[in-house]
Each structure stands twice: as structure tokens, then as C-alpha cells.
Structure 1
């Protein structure tokens, strides 16, 4: 059985930057969130010790939002993943994301800053494209 959960509060890291584009100051906010995927492996048989384990994988996704409006907001997929397993079956009430991702908060924050720096050139290119379309 496979269950997909989104742990919004688990990786609630944000990073804001200011960009100057043709003499105008623009702000962009990057927010990291984790998409959790869980899977129960093993068997649970009567009269024997429970051999089930909950394997989880969290993929970090970064959302970009510009401060002046919803234009050019987008999701930046990254390859940053964390994984682990715990004894027992995966159930919705276990809240694996919040508990397990808090120990990786510093790594998630550093990754968020790196993604924001790497997105600077694509963001400027998108702003130039929008400006060129608006001037035609």
C-alpha cells in the first residue's frame, strides 16, 4: 500500500531575495515544502511478531512567489530527498513528515538558499520576457 502525504509544516523554511530589474526592486519569496511518500513493507501474521516497517521518502519542492503579485509564481522541482524507515505500518495519524524532517531543517534551509541563487538567472529571463511582451 502506498500513501502520498504533503507535509507542509515539516519543511516550513522560507527565503526572501531582492532583485533589481531595469531600475525596479522586486522581491521573491522561496518556500520549501516536502512531498512525503510512504509505503508499508513486511507482513503481519497472527501469533508472530509484527514484521511491518514504514518506509518513507520526502522530496523537497520549492515554491517561488513574487511579492508584487501572482505572476511568475512557479514550483521548482529539486532532487533533494530524505528517506528512512520506522517499525510498524504506515498510517495517516503517524505524522512521519513533521517528526522526521525536523532533524533535517538546517539541510533544507541551506538547500533552499542554493535553489534561490540558482533561480536568479531564470527569474531575470522570465522578467525580461514579460517586459518584452508588455512593450509590444
Structure 2
């Protein structure tokens, strides 16, 4: 049985940067969210101990939104993943994602800040492209 959870729809962490583009301040907000996939493995038979385990894998995704321009909202691909397992079957009521992501909060925040730094040049390029398109 496989169970997919889009857990933590609310942001796990956020980071805001302000850059100057052609004399105008632009504020970019980066928000990390986790896509958590779970899978139950093992057997559960009558009159035996439950041998099931819940394997989980969380992929951290970063969304960038500009304060003045909804069309420039986009997801930034990242390869940051966390994984593990817990005793018992995967069920939606267990809140595995919430508990597990809380353990990695500091690592997610550092990853988010790194992604924001790496996105500086692509963001300026996108802003320049839009500026040039609008001025034609």
C-alpha cells in the first residue's frame, strides 16, 4: 500500500530578500514546503506481532514570489530530500510529515537561504527580460 501526503502545505520556512533592480526595490519571498511520500512495508498477520513499517521520503521544494508581480511566482527545483522509517503502518492520522519535518527545521532553513542566494542572478535575469519586453 502506498500513501502520498502533501503535508505541510503551509510553508515549513520562509526567507525574504530585497534586491535593487534598475533603481526600484524588489522583495522576493522564498518559501520551503515538503512533499512527503509514505509507503507501508511488511506484513500484518493475525496472532503475530505487527511487522509493518512506514517508510517516508520528503522532498523540499522552494517557491519564490515577488511582492509586486504575481506572474513571476515560480517553483525553484531543488534536490534536498530527507527520509526515514517508523514502526507501524502509514496512515493519514499519524502526522508523520509534521513530526519528521520539525526535526529538520534548521537544515531546511539553511537550505532555503542557500537557494535564495543561488537564485539572485536568475532573478535579475528574469526581471531584466520582463523590463526589456515591457519597454519594446
TM-score for the superposition, normalised by structure 1: 0.96
Q: Corresponding residue for 1:68?
A: 68
User: Structure 2, unaligned stretches of length 5 or more?
Assistant: none
Shift of 1:47: 1.3
Shift of 1:11: 5.5
User: Structure 1, unaligned stretches of length 5 or more?
Assistant: none
* CA distance, structure 1, for counterparts of residue 45 and residue 117 of structure 2: 51
**2:92 is equivalent to residue 95 of structure 1:** no
Runs of 4+ in 1 over 6 A off after TM superposition: none
- What SS does structure 1 have at the residue aligned with 2:71? coil
- What SS does structure 2 have at the residue aligned with 1:54? strand
Shift of 1:69: 2.8
What do you get for the CA RMSD once the two structures are aligned?
Answer: 1.2
**Counterparts of residues 6-25 of structure 1 (less than 5 Å):** 6-8=6-8, 12-25=12-25
TM-score for the superposition, normalised by structure 2: 0.96
* CA distance, structure 2, for counterparts of residue 111 and residue 40 of structure 1: 29
Are the counterparts in 2 of residues 16 and 30 from structure 1 also a CA contact under 8 Å? yes
* CA distance, structure 2, for counterparts of residue 43 and residue 32 of structure 1: 35
